[in-house]
Amino acid sequence: MTKGILYVVSGPSGVGKSSIIKNAMSKLQGFAFSVSYTTRPPRPGEVDGKDYFFISEEEFNKMIENDEFLEYAEVHGQLKGTSKKHIEDLLNKGYNVVLDIDVQGALNVIRKMPKDTVLTFIAPPSYSELKKRLINRGTEREEDLKVRLEDAKWELSQINQFHYLIVNEDLNEAINQLISIFIAEQIKTSRVIEHLGKYSFFKVEEE
C-alpha cells in the first residue's frame, strides 16, 4: 500500500481556506480531512468533531504533556494543535490527508515531516481585501479583528516558505488550482516510481 501525502493548506484568517478545501475535496476520492484541536469556542454553525475538536485549555495542556501533537501553537490568543497519531494512522492507511492550519503550524509540520508534506499558501488579492472579508464575516469582536489583521502581516511574509501559492480572487479558480496541486503531487515521477517499483516499466526484455 502506498503511503498517503499530507497536504497542508494555510494562510491568514478570513482568506477563504475552508471553502476552498471543502469544495476541492468534494470532487476527489481517497482524501481525508484532519480535524484539529482548539481551545477557542465554536463559531455559529461549527460542529465539534467535524470542524474542530473543541476542548478546554486544561485538556489541551494534558495532550502536550503526553506528546500527542504533531504541531501546536497559540493562534490569536487560543491554542490549536494536530494529533500526531491521527495523521500517521491515516497516511499509513493510504489516505491523502488535508490539514487546514495556521502558518506557524504549517512550518512546524514541514520541519517534522519534510518528505510527506506539501505546503500550499492561500493569499488574499490584497491586505485591504482581507480586512474587508474579515469585517463582513462578522464573527470577531473588534479587538480580535485587530489581532488577526496584525498576525496576517507576519503570515503573508512567510509565503516563500511554501511549495505553492494560490491567490483567492475568484473562488472557483482557487478551488480548481488546489485540485490541480492535489493531483500533480500524486503523479510526480518520484512518487509513481516508488509505487510501481523502481524503473520497472522501463525494463526491455532481450530478444
Instruction: Report pLDDT digits (tens) over 80-138.
Output: 999 999 999 999 999 999 999 989 889 999 999 998 899 999 999 999 999 888 888 77
Among 3.30.420.130, 3.40.50.170, 3.40.50.300, 1.20.120.550, what is the CATH number of 6-34+94-202? 3.40.50.300
Please state the length of the chain.
207
pLDDT reported for residue 190: 81
Output the nine-digit C-alpha cell for 178: 488546489
The Cα-based distances of 47 to 54, 97, 186, 202 in angstroms read 9, 20, 31, 50
pLDDT reported for residue 205: 57
pLDDT reported for residue 145: 84
State what percent of residues in the chain have pLDDT above 90.
Answer: 65
Q: Report the predicted TM-score, pTM, of the whole model to 2 decimal places.
A: 0.84
Lowest mean pLDDT among 4-13, 81-90, 188-197: 188-197
Contact 94, 186 (CB under 8 A): no
Q: How many other β-carbons are positioned within 10 Å of the β-carbon of residue 51?
A: 17
Q: How far is CA 43 from the centre of its chain?
A: 19
Per-domain residue ranges of the chain: 6-34+94-202
Q: Where are the alpha helices (DSSP H) in 26-161?
A: 57-65, 84-92, 103-112, 127-137, 142-156
